Amino acid sequence: MHLKPVIIIAVAFFVLFALIPTASLAFGESIPNWVRNIFIWYGEEQIEEDELLNALQYLINSKIITSDGKQIVRENVVSIFAHPIKDDGDFYVTYEENPNHLYPLSAKDWFLETEYLEDQMQFLNSNFKLPYDVEVVAKECNQANAFYDYITKQIIMCYEFLDSVHGDSITYSIGAEGSLEEFFIYDVVDWVFYHEVGHALIDIYLLPVTGLEENVADQFATYIIITEPAGDPEDGDFSFVQDMLYNVGTWFFIQAESGKENIYWDVHNLDMQRFYNISCYEYGHDPEYSSDLITDGWLPLERAGNCEYEYAVLEDSWTRILAPYRI
């Protein structure tokens, strides 16, 4: 059986038999035959989804579906029509050589010794459906960067980027003698990696984006760090994730204070804006644990007052967006 008829039967049953009767009785209206036929025609693949959705909108505008029904349609029908994904692929990692490393422990060796990328492959493949394989490549790029390639469908983690974060840890005396194994470097690499995973999932799942995608990817990385493997839900201790975001925010603050030129036309927020956004999400997730952001003057009260709401919207939105693609 084709997927579309199955979907349309589910939607038709849901809308026509669950929502409509109550609303129709309330308003004394019935469903026009042309609307009923559209469900059939769509199931037979004679019309496109836009025409079906226009019919649903008609039911809402005509008050055949009440305002409560409109909310139910939005929360259920939209998820039913989410881009269908079969779990036919996996994330996998490839390492290239790292002859030009700057520190005794090379970036490649750090990845290999910590098994960081292997751990992330296991997490991603256990949690997300993929329609095809996605390669994560650790390599020298001649730039301190990480990015998602929309053409090759690869996530690139540049060794120079990890060397750069290592250099920051030494310059600003973060960790024990700026050691490459310190949490600061791990946390920054983790957040940046999931920023790129965010770009990848937006592309693979054809997710809607209504603002700058770089901001959305920032929020995805923060969402993953807070909601996924870290923390102890049994006793409510999520201090570990708070500290991870503190390190990420510190890194952006360092970039902002480094004296490099601000590029106002860039699609990324300025480093100091990203510092404040991450600090806000951190505070919004756990105001009590992160209260020092306010008392020490890092997060102004003018922003902090809205941070619990900002984080709640971030978590709720990503949870709902990703639901159809979870394993």
pLDDT of residue 126: 95
Going by pLDDT thresholds of 50, 70 and 90, the confidence category of residue 28 is very low
pLDDT of residue 48: 76
pLDDT of residue 181: 47
Going by pLDDT thresholds of 50, 70 and 90, the confidence category of residue 226 is very high
pLDDT tens for 242-252 read 999 999 999 99
Residue pair 59/31 in contact (Cβ under 8 Å)? The answer is yes
Instruction: Name the residue among 11, 180, 30 with its Cα closest to residue 80.
Output: 11
pLDDT of residue 174: 73
Going by pLDDT thresholds of 50, 70 and 90, the confidence category of residue 18 is very low
pTM value? 0.75
pLDDT tens for 158-190 read 999 999 999 998 888 776 544 444 689 999 999
pLDDT tens for 40-92 read 777 667 777 777 777 777 777 776 665 555 455 455 545 545 567 889 999 99
pLDDT of residue 54: 76
pLDDT of residue 148: 98
pLDDT of residue 71: 52
pLDDT of residue 178: 42
Q: Quick one: CA dihedral 147, 152, 155, 160, positive or negative?
A: negative
pLDDT of residue 102: 93
Residue 138 in this model has a pLDDT that exceeds 50: yes
Q: How far is CA 158 from the centre of its chain?
A: 21
pLDDT of residue 239: 80
pLDDT of residue 65: 62
As a dihedral over the C-alpha atoms of residue 60, residue 66, residue 69, residue 74, rounded to 10 degrees, the angle is: 40
The sheet with strand 91-95 has its strands ordered as: 91-95, 134-139, 154-158, 146-149
pLDDT tens for 251-310 read 999 999 998 889 999 999 999 999 999 999 999 999 999 999 999 999 999 999 999 999
Going by pLDDT thresholds of 50, 70 and 90, the confidence category of residue 17 is very low
What six digits make up the tokens of 233? 């839900």
Kindly give, in sequence order, each residue whose CB lies less than 8 Å from that of residue 57, ignoring residues fewer than 6 positions away: none
